[in-house]
Structure 1
Amino acid sequence: MSQLNRSTHPAPEFPEKILQFGTGVLLRGLPDYLVHKANAAGRFNGSIVVVKSTDGQTDEFQEQDNLYTVAVRGIRNGQSVSETTVVSAISRVLAAQTQWEDILRLARNPALQIVISNTTEVGLNYVEESIFQKPPQSFPGKLTAFLYERFRSVGGSKAKGLVVVPTELVTDNGLVLRDAVERLSTYNELGKLFVKWLKFHVRFCNTLVDRIVTRPTHDAQQALQTELGYEDNLLTFTEPYHLWAIEGDDRVRQTLSFADASTPEIIIEEDINFYKERKLRILNGTHTLTMPLGYLLGLETVADEMNQPAMSRFIESLMLDEIVPTVPDYGVPGMDKAAVAQFAHDVLDRFRNPHLDHLLLKISFQQTAKMQARNVATLQRYYEKFNAVPQRMALGFAAYLLFMRALREEEGQFIGEISVNDGLISYPITDEKAAYFYGDWQTVKIDDSATVQAFVKSVLSDATLWKADLSTLPGFVDAVAGYLNLLLTQGAEKTLAGVA
């Protein structure tokens, strides 16, 4: 079987308009994929130079002439989707450790317009360092050095400013990155003229990316390569749904010309909080409220939850009846109640995707912090709107409390345990509040509902956990304690059957 390259798959070449920091699958499956689509439609006509910072190896790209395949598999509007695209948007991949001078040379390219990044969540953090190292160690250091070289080469030209679009999963990622660059500019004494050019002619955009992109498993890769008829060591696997929301003005819209009316999945607005809030409450919030119950049922993935009839009904009712009505809308097309409802149905399609192995245990990482950030405001809004207990939220919260019940500690790791099919399964509780719950659970006697009630009241009233006293919500303590008693005495399956 031949390997994918430009001999087997000829592709056009375009001017280098984008510098991208990062080679990961999210970038390949969302921004790079969308730029390729725009090129194919004759809208952007630009290519991407990629910087690899982690090591000096770029062989996997060079061997394929920077081509790779995106395999889209899943469900859209209830229908199965299977699409493959050979993406040719990348022109070069440069290793920061060995090709830094080539990267700085790109800063002098007058055609360059855009910088995209996806490092890590800590990758945007400020690191006090000289930007004149070759290369600087941090991503903000590398970006500052690149921008300074750009400034020097264009003489501070307004027309040669850049649009910087970070995609890291950090709140206000554009502002965080700008702050780090500005601090590095001061530390390195780059001068008032550079700081002025940076302030007025380099636009840092806050963004939201929403698409699950993965590397296929070995078996899936072999099957896909057999289907495609060629080898692809960069094969990228993704779901049909994708959204890239970018905070920007007319200048940003003009520069990011790969986005227009024909690409509704790319949204450029001066305020993208609607899209952030919608995703946080509906997708992320539902994950956090349903993961513990699904795991207590002995399920492993989100798709498993959707294939279990009672759990599937529970998830749909929780999302559509209790979460969706609380999500604020702006009352304008695209940001109204209809857009909220459509997103919810899209999320249900995504949850049902049989091609994604979205592990419940992976979702459980730092569950307490996620519960606070994603669901406390939703719970409070439900009470403001309906003045009643949201029963499915209450059950989800009770299952979370039971999931956080550690039976033992092993070398600093707290371990929980569930009974499934007459067997026991142990699992790690990867949560910084694990010790807190381990101590509080010692006060609970499973056959004594009064101790369960006291435990629930103590946890819900702890404002250090929730930034609010949830015990003041009428009936919520009783509802959570009632469900927790049922989970302890009857098990997850029977408890869910009484609600779903």
Structure 2
Amino acid sequence: MKTLNRRDFPGAQYPERIIQFGEGNFLRAFIDWQIDLLNEHTDLNAGVVIVRPIESTFPPSLSVQDGLYTTIIRGLNEKGEAVSDARLIRSVNREISAYADYDELLRLAHNPDMRFVFSNTTEAGISYHAGDRFDDAPAVSYPAKLTRLLFERYSHFSGAADKGWVIVPCELIDYNGEALRELVLRYAQEWALPEAFVTWLDEANAFCSTLVDRIVTGYPRDEAAQIEEQLGYKDAFLDTAEHFYLFVIQGPKSLAAELRLDKLPLNVLIVDDIKPYKERKVAILNGAHTALVPVAFQAGLDTVGDAMNDAEICAFVEKAIYQEIIPVLDLPRDELESFASAVTGRFRNPYIKHQLLSIALNGMTKYRTRILPQLLAGQKKAGKLPARLTFALAALIAFYRGERHGESYPVQDDAEWIESYQALWAQHRDRQISTRELVNAVLCVESHWEQDLTKVSGLAEQVAQDLDAILRDGMRAAVKPLC
């Protein structure tokens, strides 16, 4: 069986117009997949050069396959049908190393056609590294590497206003474009680069903040041989992802035409502010996960898919989303409901086995950031506590017992919470404290909740009632009235 390469698998090749920092599975099944669709269906005509930003030789370079690889996109489509779609991606031309090919990296800035810079260097990638210098080959941090590359561009084209770049980071931090821009300006200042360069940075370049959303499951180790048999070739860079994707870019409206989105309507939104979309994702997608996990796990289920196939647990989650989360969010209701419908479809994806225990990591912080704002807003708006979001807090406290049906399971959170819960549950078992006292001890930790939640009218009382029901009747019986 042949391995992918451009000689044996000839086809379209595109002029290099995109630099991409990051060679990982996510960008290949998200950015490069979208660029490939745009190349096929429009005149975007843009090839990608991947820059490996760190010093490593594993995994091997995509150049061993001449930039070719296959995406397997699978999940439930808009009609709820299970679909699996294999696509040979031709948008990537080659991969270079920022370390082994540093001169080649700088030469990318000399190409007049280069226009876009995408990146995913992990959440820690957009950060300041003290000691990065202009003449390092290369600097350690991604923002410093980018500053040097931008200065190369500026110098080579004598500060031409039409040679700036559209810079689109995909790292999972708030306002990633603004954060990256600030660090580039900081390095420019630290390295005493000319004031004219700083002006050019601001006037000729666009730093766009983004929200990216797609579960990318990467190389399908257990199925690779079977998939290659179906494809008829070997591919060491197979990349699997869910059917759903969403790309929200805070940037100039002209970007839609420049990316040819007017000719192929992908699920890409060009907006003035990503904040409401970020809040929507955190509240609906992440919030539903966080409400679901302790309830479903203690009801005897192990994966998100199991939970969504369980009529009662599924009803609990859907009612939490539609009746308690959506009414307090600040976007048009139809947009929110459409997103929520996509979310529940994603949760049902038969191709993804999402373990509830892995999502349970750091549950206390997740509850504070993902659910508490909606609980408090709901109480303020309706004058009463949202029943399911409140129950989810009781379920979370019960989850930290670390025991299901007589068997223990690992609970992962900050050491302080683990120790605190161990002590509280031991005292509760020995009848030294009541359920209400246990709940009060959790809710009054201002350093965590950023307020004393025992002062929220009726909250401690309701959580204690729910927790007593869980302990007395079991999760299934306790949650039933809310399903």
> Does 2:47 match 1:64?
no
Question: Matches of 2:170 and 2:62 in 1, distance apart?
Answer: 22
How many corresponding residue pairs?
480
Aligned to 1:146: 149
Q: How big is the shift at 1:226?
A: 2.1
Q: Which moved more, 1:108-117 or 1:220-229?
A: 220-229
Q: How big is the shift at 1:131?
A: 2.8
Question: Matches of 1:133 and 1:450 in 2, distance apart?
Answer: 61
Q: How big is the shift at 1:377?
A: 1.2
Aligned to 1:13: 13
SS in 2 for 1:115: strand
Contact 1:174 1:206 (8 Å CA) reproduced? yes
Contact 1:35 1:258 (8 Å CA) reproduced? no
Aligned to 2:191: 188
Question: Matches of 2:260 and 2:135 in 1, distance apart?
Answer: 33
Aligned pairs for 1:29-108 (under 5 A) are 29-57=29-57, 59-77=60-78, 78-108=80-110
Question: Matches of 1:348 and 1:67 in 2, distance apart?
Answer: 33
Aligned to 1:118: 120
Question: Matches of 1:264 and 1:46 in 2, distance apart?
Answer: 16
Aligned to 1:411: none
Question: Matches of 1:481 and 1:59 in 2, distance apart?
Answer: 54
Output the amino acid matched with 1:361. L
CA displacement 1:422-449 (0-9 Å, x = unmatched): x513213233542463366157424859
Question: Matches of 2:65 and 2:408 in 1, distance apart?
Answer: 44
Question: Matches of 1:219 and 1:95 in 2, distance apart?
Answer: 29
SS in 1 for 2:83: strand
With the length of structure 1 as denominator, give the TM-score of the two structures: 0.91
Contact 1:404 1:437 (8 Å CA) reproduced? no
CA RMSD of aligned residues (A): 2.0
With the length of structure 2 as denominator, give the TM-score of the two structures: 0.94
Q: How big is the shift at 1:456?
A: 1.3
Aligned pairs for 1:4-403 (under 5 A) are 4-57=4-57, 59-77=60-78, 78-128=80-130, 129-255=132-258, 257-260=259-262, 262-329=264-331, 336-403=332-399
Structure 1 alignment gaps of length 5 or more? 330-335, 406-416
Question: Matches of 1:299 and 1:43 in 2, distance apart?
Answer: 48
Q: How big is the shift at 1:339?
A: 0.7
Output the amino acid matched with 2:345. D
Output the amino acid matched with 1:53. P
Q: How big is the shift at 1:19?
A: 0.4
SS in 2 for 1:427: coil
Question: Matches of 2:194 and 2:226 in 1, distance apart?
Answer: 56
Contact 2:291 2:389 (8 Å CA) reproduced? yes
Question: Matches of 1:436 and 1:219 in 2, distance apart?
Answer: 38
Identical columns (%): 33
Q: How big is the shift at 1:419?
A: 2.7
Pick one of 397, 410, 414 that aligns with 1:431: 414
Aligned to 1:486: 469
CA displacement 1:246-305 (0-9 Å, x = unmatched): 0011343344x2433632401111122221111111001111121122222333221121
Question: Matches of 1:131 and 1:373 in 2, distance apart?
Answer: 39
Contact 2:5 2:65 (8 Å CA) reproduced? yes
Structure 2 alignment gaps of length 5 or more? none
